[in-house]
Structure 1
Amino acid sequence: MSDLIGTMASSASGMTAQSARLRIVSENIANADTPGYRRKLVPFEQLALPHGADGVRAGRVRLDQTEVERIQDPTHPLAGPDGMYEGSNVKLMIELADAREAQRSYQANLRMFDQAKKMTSAVLDLLRR
């Protein structure tokens, strides 16, 4: 029985971590056209849970250190004397792929949680007999 509870705790931690990742990805997409914006990344860290289960949690958010795009537009208010300004380093295709991956992982964790819940209910029903 404790294995099933550990499975549910592990799945719940995965859902929490993926929802945090999805929130960061949506912030990146929303700021893709913001000048000087750096893409945020959220690493996952292993987490020890009760009942001997392992879980995961979202780590500290950090900024992507890849170069930001330089854009030529002399009419932009942030443009320097050379007519260039810094864009962002957000690539929409990468963010959409990350969002899809987070969504699929969340769904897989949810299915695992539901399955463990059904199995726990079945065990309790057997014990009541």
Structure 2
Amino acid sequence: MSDFAKSLSVSASGLQAQAQRLRHLSENISNADTPGYRRKTVAFETAFGLGDSVSAVETGRVRLDRNTDLERIYDPQHPLADETGHYDGSNVNLLIELSDAREAQRSYEANLKMFEQARKMSAGLMDLLRR
């Protein structure tokens, strides 16, 4: 596998990983008001197999955030309220989700620029070889 193909593969794996991260973040944001919803997190892992000490990134298992307690909401009229008038909300913090989404977006854009640059360099090399 050529160096250009390896760089394209690494960039593409980063794009896929950040896209999956953004999907889970948007799911968390859309379920912020869903009672009992636990925030989903995804971890990145190294994917081997490109050879020559080049490795790509892939997403690991999706996990539920069990470290953060669900918010206790007081609303005696809610159908899920217990005898004290409380029910479990979600553990999604919109500030954290939005900052994570911004970070994932910037990482996605960086991988996209790297992909475009490798493609341009490869096209430039092909043009030189045709002369």
Q: 1:63 to 1:30 in 2, by over 3 A?
A: same
| Residue in 1 that maps onto 2:27 | 27
* RMSD over equivalenced CA pairs, Å: 1.2
Q: Is contact 2:50–2:56 with CA below 8 Å preserved after alignment?
A: no
**Identity percentage over the alignment?**
61
| Residue in 1 that maps onto 2:64 | 63
Amino acid at match of 1:110: L
Q: Is contact 1:8–1:117 with CA below 8 Å preserved after alignment?
A: yes
**Residue correspondence of structure 1 range 66-81 to structure 2 within 5 A:** 66-81=68-83
Unaligned runs of 5+ in 1: none
Q: When the two structures are superposed, what TM-score results if normalisation uses the length of structure 1?
A: 0.96
CA-CA distance at 1:50 after TM superposition: 2.7
- Take 1:104 and 1:41, find their aligned partners in 2: how far apart are those partners? 18
Q: Deviations over 1:40-88 (max 9, x none)?
A: 0011110124354311011110000110000111111100001110000
**More displaced stretch, 93-102 vs 41-50:** 41-50
Work out the number of aligned pairs and report it. 129
CA-CA distance at 1:32 after TM superposition: 0.2
Displaced runs of 4+ in structure 1, greater than 6 A? none
Q: Deviations over 1:18-53 (max 9, x none)?
A: 000000000000100000000000111101243543
Q: When the two structures are superposed, what TM-score results if normalisation uses the length of structure 2?
A: 0.94
Unaligned runs of 5+ in 2: none
